[in-house]
């Protein structure tokens, strides 16, 4: 605003200086003098300019030679004209520089506006446009961190590993007197939503120390050097407030393996990573600064980052087991009124592979379902609806023809019947022909217990059930539809893993054809790697995959051929009720 005001003031002054002033020639000027038309004259000796006003109050100016000004002044006085000789005024000095001054002011205004905009986008402010060079971290004091280990459920092993870190922050002399060295960095590794950030906060809360938190993506911006500067600022704040916990979430965003993929290696991200390595090396032993980082892609991290002396201790935070899910449910349902028919243990058993975040979402969705129907407490039915929504998606009310509904019913009934008749297959919990998400129907299976190992028979059963829908279309209707697309993709993926990764094939035996480092995660890395498999081996692998799929398809069709009547009863019930629960499914299929 100040710049705008100065520009406006200069324009007004410049306009007022020359507004109404008409330049005339010397001949016209002297003719007006002779005719007595001039009332007042002002002479600027340095510039050779005569400013005047006629008796009719008309302003003018005329330029003459500076050498003639003394004679001009004398002549004018003799003619009775009032003459005033003046030196250089303010505008006489400023006018020659005015364009340059205005240009500089405009450049200052544009630069400040640009930096202020960048600062707002990158974490600075208008008063300090270069504030975005500082690290974007939040640092609540130890008094504001109310998270404790009692708030973290389902990860007992991870909490046990971090107990000694808490003890060190509370009582460092207990370890240093015996020469023990506490790890500088702790890497929390696990799937998304398992509570890695919550655990880090709980460590600081239990120890009663400051907690500085940021994300890996927050270090890298559009300007070169910003990331390294933010790293220095973050660790400098840590040194000033030690003992403390510094938490870097999603460190894989900045700590990926260097020198991989296409493009140059001297990019901003690698400079930031180098600065992190330098800062962690700069710590004194037992300095009181504990760096905790979290990632769900530890395979992409640079080896220098996870070597001893940096992030040398990895704490695995896995998906919770049944007992862990039950504990998490108890934490999240503390503030929610539950009906008498709600059994936390049953809900925990029915949510396999759910993370802590998924369970939190489940409880919230169940509460929303209960609130929509004006209930006073959340019932078991609400948890069932919430789970279906999370797993299969939201119900879609689409108009399908009778023929299409029958095709969907036979497809889903095929999955259910094959699962019922296949050994080692998970029990069918629900079958529905109600559209959810992108699916026209779904068959939900729930394991009786958490599984950590699967044998060949179990994997074959999974493929057989996946192919049950397509098999039912062919056996019962004599058609093939697009509804089996996702089933076929998943069945092929399991069969390929059996052959190429698990050594479960006859012709290839224990030979695995997958790369030992898993799938490529860096663009261009595969250019420099050599395929270790011959074309003949790849062809054999494809044949083995095809053989597994064909055998499973044959088994599914045999089951359907032997149970046609049960299949018809199941489809008839599905078309009538649209959704069938496990108890009714067992009753229909168990009747001879």
| Triad 558, 562, 564: Cα angle to 5° | 115
Please state the φ and ψ torsions of residue 436, each to the nearest 5 degrees.
Answer: -140, 135
Collapsing DSSP states into helix, strand and coil, what is residue 438? coil
Is 412 a residue of the active site?
A: yes
The residue from 365, 412, 473, 544 that is catalytic is: 412
CA neighbor of 277 nearest in space, from 316, 235, 239: 235
CA neighbor of 571 nearest in space, from 551, 592, 591, 585: 585
Collapsing DSSP states into helix, strand and coil, what is residue 315? strand
Tokens of 277: 């390595």
Are the beta carbons of 140 and 130 closer than 8 angstroms?
no
Collapsing DSSP states into helix, strand and coil, what is residue 60? strand
Strand order in the sheet with 49-54: 22-23, 59-63, 49-54, 38-44, 82-86
The answer for 165, left when phi > 0, alpha when psi is -120 to 50, beta otherwise, is alpha
**Residue 280 and residue 291: Cα distance in Å, rounded?**
9
Are the beta carbons of 351 and 357 closer than 8 angstroms?
no
Under DSSP, the state recorded for 289 is E
Give the residue carrying structure tokens 């909490």: 159
Are the beta carbons of 415 and 490 closer than 8 angstroms?
no
**Residue 33 and residue 220: Cα distance in Å, rounded?**
76
Please state the φ and ψ torsions of residue 256, each to the nearest 5 degrees.
Answer: -65, 160
The answer for 509, left when phi > 0, alpha when psi is -120 to 50, beta otherwise, is left
| Triad 245, 146, 288: Cα angle to 5° | 20
Are the beta carbons of 257 and 305 closer than 8 angstroms?
no
The answer for 411, left when phi > 0, alpha when psi is -120 to 50, beta otherwise, is alpha
Are the beta carbons of 513 and 538 closer than 8 angstroms?
yes
Under DSSP, the state recorded for 59 is E
Q: Which residues are annotated as a binding site?
A: 411, 415, 487
| Alpha-carbon radius of gyration of the chain | 41
**Residue 25 and residue 33: Cα distance in Å, rounded?**
13
Tokens of 162: 């971090």
CA neighbor of 48 nearest in space, from 86, 81, 21, 14: 86
Give the residue carrying structure tokens 């705008």: 4
Q: Which residues are annotated as a binding site for Zn(2+)?
A: 411, 415, 487
Quick check: bond before 305 cis, omega within 30? Answer: no
**Residue 67 and residue 73: Cα distance in Å, rounded?**
11
Question: Which residue numbers are catalytic?
Answer: 412
């Amino acid at each position: 605003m100040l710049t705008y005001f100065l520009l406006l003031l200069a324009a007004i002054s410049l306009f007022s200086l020359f507004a109404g002033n008409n330049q005339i020639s010397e001949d016209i000027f002297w003719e007006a003098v002779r005719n007595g038309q001039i009332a007042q004259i002002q002479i600027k000796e340095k510039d050779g300019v005569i400013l005047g006003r006629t008796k009719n109050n008309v302003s003018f100016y005329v330029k003459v030679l500076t050498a003639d000004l003394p004679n001009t002044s004398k002549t004018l006085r003799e003619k009775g004209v009032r003459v005033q000789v003046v030196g250089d005024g303010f505008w006489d000095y400023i006018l020659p520089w005015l364009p340059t001054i205005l240009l500089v002011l405009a450049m200052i205004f544009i630069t400040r506006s640009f930096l202020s905009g960048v600062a707002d986008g990158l974490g600075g402010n208008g008063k300090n446009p270069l504030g975005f060079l500082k690290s974007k971290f939040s640092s609540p004091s130890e008094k504001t961190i109310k998270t404790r280990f009692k708030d973290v459920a389902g990860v007992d092993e991870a909490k046990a590993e971090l107990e000694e870190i808490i003890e060190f922050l509370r009582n460092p002399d207990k370890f240093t007197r015996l020469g023990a060295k506490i790890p500088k960095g702790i890497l929390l590794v696990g799937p998304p939503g398992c509570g890695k950030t919550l655990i880090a906060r709980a460590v600081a809360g239990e120890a009663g120390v400051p907690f500085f938190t940021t994300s890996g993506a927050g270090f890298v911006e559009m300007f070169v050097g910003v990331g390294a500067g933010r790293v220095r600022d973050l660790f400098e704040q840590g040194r000033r407030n030690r003992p403390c916990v510094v938490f870097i979430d999603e460190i894989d965003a900045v700590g990926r393996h260097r020198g991989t993929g296409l493009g140059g290696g001297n990019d901003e991200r690698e400079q930031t990573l180098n600065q992190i390595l330098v800062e962690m090396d700069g710590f004194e032993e037992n300095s009181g600064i504990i760096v905790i980082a979290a990632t769900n892609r530890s395979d992409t991290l640079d080896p220098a980052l996870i070597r001893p002396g940096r992030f040398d201790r990895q704490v695995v935070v896995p998906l919770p087991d049944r007992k862990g899910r039950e504990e998490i449910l108890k934490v999240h349902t503390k503030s929610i009124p539950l009906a008498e028919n709600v059994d936390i243990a049953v809900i925990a058993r029915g949510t396999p592979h759910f993370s802590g975040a998924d369970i939190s979402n489940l409880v919230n969705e169940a509460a929303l379902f209960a609130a929509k129907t004006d209930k006073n407490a959340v019932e078991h039915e609400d948890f069932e609806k919430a789970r279906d929504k999370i797993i299969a998606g939201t119900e879609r009310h689409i108009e399908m023809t009778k023929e299409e509904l029958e095709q969907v019913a036979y497809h889903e009934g095929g999955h259910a019947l094959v699962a019922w008749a296949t050994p080692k297959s998970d029990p069918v919990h629900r079958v529905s022909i109600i559209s959810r998400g992108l699916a026209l129907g779904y068959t939900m299976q729930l394991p009786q217990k958490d599984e950590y190992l699967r044998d060949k028979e179990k994997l074959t059963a999974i493929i057989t059930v996946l192919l049950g829908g397509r098999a039912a279309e062919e056996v019962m209707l004599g058609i093939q539809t697009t509804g089996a697309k996702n089933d076929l993709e998943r069945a092929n993926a399991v069969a390929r893993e059996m052959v190429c990764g698990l050594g479960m094939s006859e012709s290839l035996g224990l030979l695995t054809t997958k790369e030992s480092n898993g799938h490529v995660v860096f663009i261009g890395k595969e250019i420099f790697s050599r395929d270790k498999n011959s074309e003949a081996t790849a062809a054999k692998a494809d044949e083995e995959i095809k053989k597994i799929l064909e055998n499973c398809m044959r088994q599914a069709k045999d089951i359907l051929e032997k149970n046609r009547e049960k299949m018809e009863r199941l489809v008839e019930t599905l078309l009538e009720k649209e959704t069938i629960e496990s108890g009714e499914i067992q009753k229909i299929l168990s009747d001879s």
